[in-house]
Structures are given as C-alpha cells and as structure tokens.
C-alpha cells in the first residue's frame, strides 16, 4: 500500500509519515504541489491513497485534485485543511476529494479515515489476497502456502517482505524488473540499488522456503522476476 503525502509543514509531514510507516504503508512525502504532480504523473508507481494539504507551495491541494480528476484518475484523496468554512469543504468535495480532515487532528482519526477510504475505493483492500497457492493475510501480516491435501503452512513476514510479496501477487505470472520493484517498494529518493532488490528477493525466498514455496518466485535472468501462480502443490 503506497501513499503520496503532500504536506509542506515539516513537523506535521514527518509525524504523518512516521505514523503511516508504522502501519506498513510505503509513504512518498513531498512538500511542494508541483513536485507532487510529477510523482502522480510517473507511471512507474501505483498509489493506493493520497493525502493533499490544501495550501501548498507550487500547486495547491485543490489544483492537484482538479488535475487528477480531469484525467479521470480515481485515486482516493483525503484533503487536509486548516479551513473549516462550509464553502471550502464544499469546494473540496466538488473538486473530487473523497474526504477531508480539519487541522489539528489526531493521528488515530487520520488512520481511521484512511482505512474507510480504502474500503470504499475501487482498489478495495481485502482482508486477504489469494493467488494460486499463496494467501496473504493483511491483518496478521502472514502468508499461507497451500500444500497437498489442503494442508496450509504459514510464515510471518517483515514489512518489506510483505510489500514485495503483495506486489508480486498483484501481478501474477508477469515479469517484474528490478526497476519496477524498486520503484514500487521503496520510497522515491531511497538509496535502493538493484542489489538491494536482489537481497530483498533472497530474504523473501528464504521465508517462503519455510513453507516450501520458494520456487514460486522465479528469476528471469537478465530481465527480472516472476511469481508463478499456476504452480500446483508438489
């Protein structure tokens, strides 16, 4: 789950990013509306949610929202605003905001609003994601691998392992390049090289080996990696 956070107040932005990271979101935090538009236009990243502050340097939050909706982009957007006038709320919702939160707010409320947005969005986040023999459980951050006779084996994953496996499971039987994986799983500007991707794949395979499923992630030499979803239990 990847979030674009656009907030120019350093303390608030850092606090939101910290809170969301603890909830296993990958967070790209930008302080400027123009930079944010660049991130949104970058086709190599898929955001689950966006949080726009209303008043920003460069493009305002409302302008970002209008541009997104003009392109028929359905990305769920929560607006943050210090304004609490009815006219402003109406303006925000008319421009296509899915929800708004008036500053100051409690982090628990922000998290609850984001969960509600995810439930309502077309990219609805299910409790479990199932692909072939693998079932990823969002609540417990574990993966189940179905074996013969319906027997299931389970292993817990770290945040990065979970995010990586989720990305594979959302793109089954597709070759994903190191660049694609890096762009999706690491934050923008993170110092992640293809070696880091390879190392993370090794760690994920080691976890999957515990449930005898390591072979499901195949290395396509010189190209990338693929999750084989059609593999049958051995």
Pick out residues in 36-65 that bind Ca ion (CB under 5 A).
53, 55
CB of residue 204 vs Ca ion: minimum separation in angstroms?
A: 38
Q: Cβ closer to Ca ion: 79 or 165?
A: 79
User: What SS3 state is found at 161?
Assistant: helix
> Phi/psi at 217 (nearest 5 deg)?
-100, 110
In angstroms, what is the minimal distance from the CB of 11 to Ca ion? 12
Enter the tokens of residue 148.
Answer: 């013969």
Q: Are 2 and 25 in contact (CB under 8 A)?
A: yes
Q: Give the separation between CA 159 and CA 24, rounded to whole angstroms.
A: 6
CA dihedral 27, 165, 209, 182 (to 10 degrees): -60
Nearer to Ca ion, 4 or 181 (CB): 4
Give the closest residue to 110 by CA, choosing from 232, 18, 173, 220: 18
User: In the complex with Ca ion, which residue's Cβ is closer, 85 or 222?
Assistant: 85
Determine the Cα–Cα distance for residues 175 and 79; give it in Å rounded to an integer. Answer: 36
In the complex, least distance from residue 17 CB atom to Ca ion, rounded to whole angstroms: 15
The answer to the question of residue 8 lying near Ca ion (CB under 5 A) is yes
Based on CB atoms, which residue is closest to Ca ion, 31 or 203?
31
Residue 172 φ/ψ, nearest 5 degrees: -65, 145
Nearer to Ca ion, 8 or 99 (CB): 8
Q: Does 32 bind Ca ion (CB under 5 A)?
A: no
| Site membership for Ca ion, residue 88 (CB under 5 A) | no
Size of the site for Ca ion (CB under 5 A): 3
Q: Which residues bind Ca ion (CB under 5 A)?
A: 8, 53, 55
């Amino acid at each position: 789950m990847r979030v674009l956070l656009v907030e120019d107040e350093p303390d608030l932005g850092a606090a939101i990013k910290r809170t969301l990271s603890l909830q296993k979101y990958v967070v790209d935090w930008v302080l400027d509306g123009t930079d944010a538009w660049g991130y949104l236009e970058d086709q190599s990243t898929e955001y689950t949610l966006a949080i726009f502050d209303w008043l920003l340097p460069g493009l305002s939050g409302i302008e970002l929202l209008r541009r997104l909706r003009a392109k028929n982009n359905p990305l769920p957007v929560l607006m943050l605003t210090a304004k609490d006038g009815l006219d402003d709320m109406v303006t925000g919702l008319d421009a296509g905001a899915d929800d708004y939160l008036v500053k100051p707010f409690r982090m628990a409320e922000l998290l609850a609003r984001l969960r509600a947005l995810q439930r309502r969005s077309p990219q609805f986040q299910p409790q479990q994601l199932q692909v072939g023999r693998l079932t990823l459980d969002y609540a417990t951050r574990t993966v189940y691998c179905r074996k013969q006779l319906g027997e299931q084996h389970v292993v817990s994953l770290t945040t990065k392992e979970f995010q990586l496996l989720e990305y594979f499971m959302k793109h089954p039987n597709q070759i994903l390049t190191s660049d694609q994986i890096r762009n999706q799983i690491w934050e923008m500007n993170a110092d992640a090289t293809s070696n880091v991707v390879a190392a993370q794949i090794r760690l994920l395979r080691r976890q999957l080996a515990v449930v005898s499923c390591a072979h499901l992630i195949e290395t396509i030499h010189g190209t990338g990696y693929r999750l084989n979803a059609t593999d049958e239990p051995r």
